[in-house]
Amino acid sequence: MSLQFVYSSQDFVRDVRRSSGNSLVPAKLDSTIQAGWTDRMDRGLFRYHLGDLQTRILPGPHGFVAQLNIQRGLERRKPQEILSIQQEFNAKQFNFNKINPEEILFEMIQDTGEGKEGGQLHQPCRMVVLVNVSPLEFGHCLFVPDPSRCFPQVLTRFAIQVGIESVLLSSDPGFRVGFNSLGAFASVNHLHLHGYYLEHELKIESTPVKPLITEKGFYRLLDFPGGFLFYTESEQVEKVTRTICRVTDFLVEGNIAHNLFLTRGCPPCEHIQNEKDRCSRKGVRIAVWPRISCFGAKEESAFNVALCELAGHLPFKNKKDYELTTESDVIDIIQRYLLPGEEFDILEQQLMRHLMDL
């Protein structure tokens, strides 16, 4: 039986700040992930040993964080053939029921204080956390809602909510969670989110936004790459989760591929805040990028445009591209995968009408 990580809203870390010289006491979730992940690395369960990755910040206003991770490009499992955003789960293909049980770190169980019978905690689904054996950064793990139920790679309210709660349970502003839909470089059609640590600040944490429906926490990103943003602090998680799920369900029904990125971030605003607000990381920013679908597409030699690349974190597969790629090159590559401006504007209007009908 795997280790259980029981938590409640009382465990959320409500006052995280990003500032130099700020030594954070790891929260219980951070300690549990990091200790288990390091143990599995020491025991040789990964496809390669991940040391300190060579990292540089690309010159330019976007502050893209480039990292050289050659082994991930060489050693990771070959992605499955994806033909549709709504592709059904196929038990014959690789899925997370086929992993080595030693790769499991723990199960997350939310203690709501309700529904206890005989000392057992009940919830609609269990979240299994396991190591990603082809890690892109320290602590890279996968959040898999009850693997035995064989959900395809389509977001559910439960998956979104636990993703947000995981960020709130961490005291580290560098802990990130993300999701790639089918057609958006998801490599396994079995519902999962990624979680990992990246100590470098990303612009997505503080980039200005345009309000769309503020009472639902719905905004438009004003900076490149264009997408939508949601924001929540600990008290509004369920409400914002419902809204995000309405959006992702709409995208799936419209066969629009998408990536999500969840990170500690500033409260949303239309201009740069004062220094105190700029450093605040009390809440979670959830970026949603609708994008052009890639089915059976040839992979880019430098990097694939998925959840972390859209957020400004660029794991490069080869040294030449890592050393020579400029901010302008990155923008050119990413731009090819984004919805054209007019198409994005139409989608924005559709989503606003869809959400106002609630």
Residue 21 Ramachandran class (φ > 0 left, ψ -120 to 50 alpha, else beta):
left
pLDDT of residue 338: 96
Place of tokens 């080595």: 100
Which CATH code of 1.10.3720.10, 3.30.70.3280, 3.50.50.60, 3.30.428.70 fits the domain covering 4-356?
3.30.428.70
What tokens appear for 317 in the block?
């597969």
More confident residue, 46 or 118: 46
Q: pLDDT at residue 19 above 80?
A: no
Q: What is the mean pLDDT of the chain?
A: 90
Which has the minimum average pLDDT: 2-6, 64-68, 320-324, 328-332?
2-6
pLDDT of residue 149: 95
Is the predicted pLDDT of residue 132 greater than 80, yes or no? Answer: yes
Which pTM does this prediction carry? 0.93
pLDDT of 121: 43
Q: Are 155 and 103 in contact (CB under 8 A)?
A: no
Copy the structure tokens of residue 284. Answer: 């979670």
From CA 130, how far away is CA 194, in angstroms rounded?
Answer: 10
pLDDT value at 117 more than 60? no
129, amino acid identity: V
Q: What would the pLDDT profile of 45-99 be if each residue is shown by its tens digit?
A: 999 998 889 999 999 999 999 999 988 867 666 777 788 899 999 999 999 999 9
What pLDDT is stored for residue 298 in this prediction? 56
Q: Calculate mean pLDDT across residues 134-155.
A: 96
Q: What does the pLDDT read at residue 125?
A: 72
d(CA 214, CA 230) in angstroms, rounded, equals: 9
pLDDT score for 21: 54
Euclidean distance between CA atoms 167 and 198, whole angstroms: 13
pLDDT tens string 145-195: 999 999 999 999 999 999 999 999 999 999 999 999 999 999 899 999 999
Q: 120 pLDDT band (50/70/90 cuts)?
A: very low
Residue type, 40: R
pLDDT at residue 20 greater than cutoff 70 = no
How does pLDDT run across 248-306, given as a tens digit for each residue? 999 999 999 999 999 999 999 766 566 666 788 999 999 999 999 887 655 666 788 99
Tell me, letter by letter, the H, E, C secondary structure of the chain.
CCCEEEECHHHCCCCCECCCCCCCCCCHHHHHHHHHHHHHHHCCCCCCCCCCCEEEECCCCCCCEEEECHHHHHHCCCCCCCCCCCCCCCCCCCCCCCCCHHHEEEEEEECCCCCCECCECCCCCCEEEEECCCCCCCCCEEEEECHHHCCCCCCCHHHHHHHHHHHHHCCCCCEEEEEECCCCCCCCCCCCEEEEECCCCCHHHCCCEEEEEHHHCEEEECCCCCCEEEEECHHHHHHHHHHHHHHHHHHHHCCCEEEEEEEEECCCCCCCCCHHHHHECCEEEEEEEEECCCCCCCCCCCCCCCHHHHCCEEEECCHHHHHHCCHHHHHHHHHCCECCHHHHHHHHHHHHHHHHCC
Contacts 24+ apart (CB under 8 A), 116-119: none
CA-to-CA distance for 65 and 97, rounded, in angstroms? Answer: 34
Terminal-to-terminal C-alpha distance of the chain: 41
- Where do the structural domains in the chain lie, given as residue ranges? 4-356
The percentage of the chain sitting over the pLDDT mark of 90, rounded to a whole number, equals 76
**Residues assigned a catalytic role:** 192
